[in-house]
Amino acid sequence: MTKKLLGAVALSGLFLCSAAQAVDVWEGTKYIYSTSHQLEYAIKVELGQNQKGLLVAKEGSSSVSYQKVGETIEVIPLGTIGSIGYAFKVIEETGEGMQVQMVSKLKKMIISGDNDVVNVKETWESCYEYPVNGQTFKKCETLDTTMDEEVVLKDQLQSVGIAIQVNDNVVLPFLENDSVFINLESNKTVSVLAAGKAFDGLTATSWESDGNRFVLTLGDGATITYTATQNMDGVDRVVGLYKNGSDELTIVGALAIDDKIDSSSFSKSDIEGKYKTVLASTNTNQDTLYTFGADGLGGFEYSYLGQIGEVVWSWDLINGVIKATRYLNQDGIPAQSRDDVEACMVAGSNCSIYQTRTYKIISKTGNRYTMLRTLNHETGSDEYRDLSVWVFYKR
């Protein structure tokens, strides 16, 4: 998969083909979702009379206006579909780096292709504020992204089946690219074993499954109906439809079942080596090379704006759980080189912890490791924490 960025920061997907084909305007509900190994994307689009409709995405839902433009359908949100995230920015006025809050809004969507396989182009605006000498400045960036992956247009989500049963421990994708780790109790109730920050303040009360769909009911009455659209690499790719009254969202990610293996049986030498990731429950850093070195250093490679970079961390194995730590140097900038990380590991250094990642092995088949990852990092005064499923193949 190649990714082309026409702006500054990647958010959702934009799908283009070399020549647009004629997709027909439909009346009613359609689902547009990815069947790619890597790309995670799903939206629900309702087109009605008077060129008005409804768009449901992972970032929110909104009434929309739409029109046929040539051989494409142009969709404009009438409300707000957006997200809030964090990014590390170098401030132009000072040359210093800082974490900033990015507020992003979907401005336009263009659907092209045919009546079964389509391409979707999204245009986003991302804004952030930052202080300089007591003043607050605001900067906005318009973003288009392209991914050479096609998505399907269907009347319903096509299920390949969900093979879960009573007493399973299951990781499910949740809102805001997060996940929740639950136990399915015999009386159809739910015990929450772990969750990311998006689940804070929530409870899960019950579950149901008919083998094709899995429904999780939350304590506030909201429901999430999950459909497995693919089985791959030992996990299910699922699309979830969240509904709470009139509020709707889509959720895309990995459903994984915990094999309840004794992770304490793993030694540090068992973990040391290089790994290729082929699936995650978010669409970042996929097909990435990870390293856990014998010297206690490691990290991963990443691609951004066509450039290959590397994240370096220190790591250890604690009670069978991998813990990786990233640092900020004395200037508040993430330590990127091995020398910088080693300097931060020395007692009395002026470094601070930037991020920690823990990886708990929940399944192992041959050289394939399915891991439950918890990511913690500081964004100003607010701690950010998320849970996700990662599949690694050891080289």
Residues 241 and 292 in one domain: no
Residue type, 266: F
pLDDT tens, position by position, 345-354: 998 899 999 9
pLDDT band for position 374 (cuts 50, 70, 90): very high
Q: Are residues 221 and 318 in the same domain?
A: no
Q: Is residue 161 part of a domain?
A: no
Confidence of residue 15 (pLDDT cuts 50, 70, 90): very low
Which residues constitute the domain of residue 302?
A: 263-394
Does 67 map to a domain? yes
pLDDT at residue number 16: 40
User: DSSP characters for 288-303?
Assistant: -EEEE-TTSEEEEEEE
Q: Could you give the dihedral angle defined by the CA atoms of residues 372, 276, 12 and 204, in that order, rounded to the nearest 10 degrees?
A: -10
For residue 85, what pLDDT is reported?
82
Q: What is the pLDDT of residues 55-100, one digit of tens each?
A: 999 999 999 999 999 999 999 999 999 998 888 888 989 988 888 9
46 in the same domain as 187: no
10 plus 147 within the same structural domain = yes
Q: What is the pLDDT of residue 19?
A: 45
Write down which residue in 111, 130, 154 finishes a domain. Answer: 154
Residue 159, domain member (yes or no): no
Q: Are residues 182 and 243 in the same domain?
A: yes
- Determine what percent of the chain is predicted with pLDDT higher than 70: 88
Say if residue 252 is in the same domain as residue 267. no
> How far is Cα 167 from Cα 278, in angstroms, rounded to an integer?
28
- pLDDT of residue 225 exceeding 60, the answer is yes
* Structure letter (DSSP) for residue 203: -
329 or 278: whose pLDDT is higher? 329
Q: What is the model's pLDDT at position 280? A: 52
Q: For residue 173, give every residue at least 6 positions away whose Cβ sits within 8 Å of its Cβ, in sequence order, or none.
A: 179, 238, 240, 251, 252, 253, 254, 255, 281
Between 101 and 1, residue with greater pLDDT: 101
Amino acid at 82: G
Q: Does pLDDT of 13 surpass 80?
A: no
Indicate whether 162 belongs to any domain.
no
Indicate if the pLDDT at residue 155 is higher than 80: yes
pLDDT at 277 over 90: no
Write down how long the chain is.
395
How high is the pLDDT of residue 330? Answer: 87
3-class DSSP state for residue 338?
A: helix
Q: Which of 103-107, 281-285, 324-328 has the lowest mean pLDDT?
A: 281-285
Measured CA to CA, the distance from residue 145 to residue 130 in angstroms comes to 25
pLDDT for res 107: 97
- Answer yes or no: do 105 and 184 share one domain: no
d(CA 219, CA 203): 5
- pTM score, whole prediction: 0.85
Per DSSP, what are the bridge partners of residue 199?
Answer: none
Question: Which pLDDT band, with edges at 50, 70 and 90, does 130 fall under?
Answer: very high
**pLDDT-derived band at 242, boundaries 50, 70, 90:** very high
CA distances to 72, 146, 372 from 153, in Å: 14, 18, 31
Same domain, 249 and 338: no
In total, how many domains does the chain have?
A: 3
**Do 9 and 146 share a domain, yes or no?**
yes
Q: Quick one: pLDDT at residue 284?
A: 45
**Distant-in-sequence, close-in-space partners of 14: CB < 8 Å, separation ≥ 6:** 120, 121, 122, 123, 144, 145, 146, 147
Tell me if 164 is assigned to some domain. Answer: no
Mean pLDDT across 16-35: 78
Q: Report angle CA 172, 44, 391 to the nearest 5 degrees.
A: 30
Q: Between 40 and 182, where is the model more confident?
A: 182
Cα(first)–Cα(last) distance of the chain, in Å?
Answer: 21
Higher pLDDT, 116 or 150: 116
Indicate the pLDDT class of residue 209, thresholds 50, 70 and 90: very high
**Can you name the residues that pair with 206 across neighbouring β-strands?**
217
Query: What is the Cα–Cα distance from 20 to 363, expressed in whole angstroms?
Result: 43
Residues 204 and 333 in one domain: no
d(CA 386, CA 388): 7
Which residues, including other chains, have CB under 8 Å from residue 290's CB and lie 6 or more apart?
A: 274, 275, 276, 277, 298, 299, 300, 392
The stretch 254-282 carries a mean pLDDT of 87
Rounded-to-integer distance, Cα 120 and Cα 116, Å: 13
Does 295 reside within a domain? yes
Decide which of 22 and 341 is more confident: 341
Instruction: Please report whether residue 323 resides in a domain.
Output: yes
- Per-residue model confidence as pLDDT tens digits over 287-300: 578 999 999 999 99
**pLDDT number for residue 148:** 58
What average pLDDT does the chain have? 88
Of 257, 286, 305, the residue that ends a domain is 257
**Same domain assignment for residues 30 and 104:** yes
Express as a percent the part of the chain with pLDDT over 90. Answer: 71
Domain end residue (candidates: 211, 238, 257): 257
**367 domain-assigned:** yes
Cβ-proximal residues to 187 (8 Å cutoff; 6+ apart), any chain: none
Question: From CA 112, how far away is CA 104, in angstroms rounded?
Answer: 24
DSSP secondary structure, 88-130, as one string = EEE-TTT--EEEEEEEEEEEEEEEEE-SSEEEEEEEEEEEEEE
pLDDT of 266 > 60? The answer is yes
Q: 386 with 375: CB under 8 angstroms? A: yes
Q: Tell whether 372 and 269 lie within a shared domain.
A: yes
Average pLDDT over residues 316-327: 95
